[in-house]
Amino acid sequence: IELKQTNLAKLAGNVAVPAYVRETLVPSIVHIGVGGFFRAHQAVYLDDLLALPGNVEWGYCGVGLLAIDAAMRDAMRVQDGLYAVVERSAAGDRARIIGCIGEYLYAPDDPQAVLEKLADPGTRIVALTITEGGYYVNQGTGEFDAQHPDIVHELAHPEAPRCSFGYLAAALALRHQRGLAPFTIMSCDNLQNNGDVTRKMLLAFLALRDLELARWLATDGSFPNSMVDRITPATTDEHRALVRDSFGIIDAWPVVCEPFRQWVIEDEFPQGRPAWEKVGAQMTHDVLPYEKMKLRLLNASHQALCYIGMQLGYTFAHEAMNDPGIRALVRRMMDDEVTPLLDEVEGIDLARYKDTLIERFSNPAVRDQLARIGTEGSARIPKFVLPSVREALAKGGAIKLLAFTVACWFRYLEGHDEQGREMPLNDPYAVRLRALALQGGADAAALLSLRELFGDLSDTPAFAQAVAQALASLYGLGARGALEQIVA
Ligand code: NAD
């Protein structure tokens, strides 16, 4: 059965379908970056909430800005915004249809429509999943990257926005002119202090365009921090076949994920918000301890397992975790190097949390791609791994396994494993990183000199030596030998 609004009643026998009247939803949240994660996480929370009475003032309007989003536009159009989410675990697959995206706008088709939607008085929240690299942060300095080609373009053509910041700025200018309050801007990307980072970068950008607008947003705007968690692999044809064969649904773009989900949100929504706490989200006044714990343990461990995993010929996270060497690397990095840097987190038993992470990474049903986890290392290594290195060095703690993770990334950037198999590199800095990795080989100096990624660590001898040693052993002993040595 084809997935669309008029077929929902027919599908209800096979899967759970939206238990609310979709036509009455008000798309008061605009979400930029409708990818796998948003659809498996925030959209599921709202879908749960809409099933409870009295919440129809909330719904999503999805927005895609990039050329690659044309395929999502097509899927959303033929399917009336509907799609299947399949939760996969040892207990089996559970599917449901999500209906909370009432509208989808693909910006290159009609930029004005996106601007007007953002500037609409009914738009109360603008949420973002635009990846860790989407915030124009110079990783070395932590400051706004005004030299980024997107930003250079936006400043030259403020009337014709193309990137997220350009659209936000142009829409906020319209709201300001029209005497409307700014929308709340909620980042749901994996960045520590994601709201604070969004505020700082967006205000720095606005200051270059329109100081008055920047001042207005600094005073009246709100940027709640949030911690988001649910492992969501990239959608593949295998997933489309699964949805068709197991549930009888023809869906151009389903999404599969693990059963676990978590969302901790700072409660700073002057324009109102959905009652997410009714459906399992945790509203708090301080997200930082949760976020730090999650990024330093979950996301850094993902970095630790994916690059060495690809070098050893694995495709999926659970395969890498079945390798005793990689399992030991992940566990020890968490226990010996990261845990000593974490504060107590209210309501969380850290030992139990780490056990759960190991279980989640090892879930064979999820089949999370190492290539996905290794996407955009240039943004992820500086955000997930290097902050622990800095803190550990300051406290006299160990960094051997963190440095090994960085060295594994360097080795991976070279492009081929020891068997000559290609390792896919998906990174905005791919060309430069690959060239430096090939030029440097076993010598880490060329890559380490990238100050916009490593900042002060570029010339911190203890770090440089640890990475150099690990990289030399990856080239000298091979991935297996180096891994055995480091966990011995
Ligand atoms: P995805 O590739 O499925 O979707 C990414 C979406 O973001 C696409 O719509 C893309 O067009 C858009 N996008 C990317 N870069 C952009 C930019 N610079 N400006 C505007 N839009 C941009 O990826 P995903 O799995 O949905 O992951 C997206 C982000 O979600 C991650 O980078 C991470 O911060 C967060 N996240 C993902 C997971 C996961 O398991 N997949 C878990 C937690 C958090």
pLDDT digits (tens, 9 = 90+) for 415-426: 999 999 999 999
Average confidence score pLDDT of the chain: 97
* Protein residue with its CA nearest to atom 4 in ligand 1: 35
CA dihedral defined by 474, 479, 485, 488, rounded to 10 degrees?
A: 150
Whether 60 contacts 26, CB under 8 Å:
no
Residue 363 has pLDDT above 90, yes or no: yes
Structure tokens, 89: 């675990």
Give the number of other Cβ atoms within 10 Å of residue 446's Cβ.
15
Average pLDDT over residues 466-488: 98
pTM: 0.95
Residue 14 has pLDDT above 90, yes or no: no
Please give the angle made by the CA atoms of 93, 99 and 100, to the nearest 5 degrees.
120
Query: What pLDDT sits at residue 148?
Result: 96
Query: What pLDDT sits at residue 346?
Result: 87
Give the C-alpha separation, 101 to 99, whole Å.
Answer: 6
Give the C-alpha separation, 456 to 387, whole Å.
Answer: 11
* Alpha-carbon separation of residue 77 from 38, 49, 73, 105, 162 (angstroms): 18, 24, 6, 10, 22
* Protein residue with its CA nearest to atom 23 in ligand 1: 35
Average pLDDT over residues 196-219: 98
Residue 321 has pLDDT above 90, yes or no: yes
What is the CA(21)–ligand 1 centre distance, in A? 29
Give the C-alpha separation, 408 to 428, whole Å.
Answer: 19
Query: What pLDDT sits at residue 13?
Result: 84
What is the predicted ipTM? 0.99
pLDDT digits (tens, 9 = 90+) for 1-11: 999 999 999 99
* Protein residue with its CA nearest to atom 35 in ligand 1: 189
CA dihedral sign, ordered 363, 364, 366, 370: positive
What is the CA(18)–ligand 1 centre distance, in A? 25
Give the residue from 100, 294, 334, 46 showing the smallest Cα distance to 189.
294
Ligand 1 site residues (CB inside 6 A) read 33-38, 64-66, 68-69, 129-132, 134, 163-164, 189-190, 228, 230-232, 234
- The domains found in the chain, sorted by start residue, are 5-284 (3.40.50.720), 288-487 (1.10.1040.10)
Structure tokens, 172: 């906020």
Average pLDDT over residues 167-185: 98
By mean pLDDT, which of 13-17, 159-163, 326-330 is the weakest? 13-17
| Site to substitute for ligand 1 among 38, 45, 105, 129, most atoms within 8 A of C-beta | 129
| Site to substitute for ligand 1 among 34, 37, 128, 185, most atoms within 8 A of C-beta | 37
* Protein residue with its CA nearest to atom 1 in ligand 1: 35
Residue 110: pLDDT band with limits 50, 70, 90: very high
Residue 457: pLDDT band with limits 50, 70, 90: very high
Residue 139 has pLDDT above 90, yes or no: no
pLDDT digits (tens, 9 = 90+) for 310-320: 999 999 999 99
Q: Provide the percentage of residues in the chain whose pLDDT is more than 70.
A: 100
Residue with tokens 């373009």: 153
Whether 30 contacts 123, CB under 8 Å:
yes
At 125, which helix (H) or strand (E)? strand 125-128
Average pLDDT over residues 19-33: 96
Give the C-alpha separation, 115 to 199, whole Å.
Answer: 20
Residue type, 469: Q
* Protein residue with its CA nearest to atom 38 in ligand 1: 37
Average pLDDT over residues 216-224: 98
Whether 63 contacts 32, CB under 8 Å:
yes
Give the number of other Cβ atoms within 10 Å of residue 111's Cβ.
18
Residue 140 has pLDDT above 90, yes or no: no
Structure tokens, 444: 């880490």
Query: What pLDDT sits at residue 102?
Result: 97
Residue type, 60: Y
